[in-house]
Amino acid sequence: MTRPIAADTHAILWYLTGAPRLSAIAKAAFDDAVEAPQDIYISAMSMVELVYLTERSRIPLAAGRRLWGQIHESPGRGLAGQLDLHRQIFQPLEAVLDQTG
């Protein structure tokens, strides 16, 4: 059984973008958690950072779309983790994604 994991901003960003900077062990932990599904905990501050970076075009728009899709597809499970507690934080991400088409 896969245990829940906690992800910081860089780890979740590197996972969402497939960046080679994410270690093989961390990638396997994310993959296992998403497939199980098990919780991946992401802090509210990390979400604020990801929204900001998406809004400023500092990270690929596809990463923001993937995160938003995971939140909607599996609320409270998988990549979304316990994000229902912070759902209001994600409204700006949805607005950014809507504006950029």
62-76 residue pLDDT tens: 877 777 776 666 555
Q: Residue ranges of the alpha helices (H) in the chain? A: 9-17, 24-35, 44-55, 61-73, 87-99
Whole-number pLDDT of residue 93:
66
- Domain of residue 13: give its range: 5-99
Q: Which residues pair with 7 in a beta bridge?
A: 42
Contact present, 59 and 97 (Cβ < 8 Å) = no
Residue with tokens 């599904």: 37
Q: How many domains does the chain have?
A: 1
Q: For 71-92, b where at least 16 C-beta lie within 10 A, e where not — what string?
A: beeeeebbbbbebeebeebbee
Residues of the chain with pLDDT below 50 are 78-85
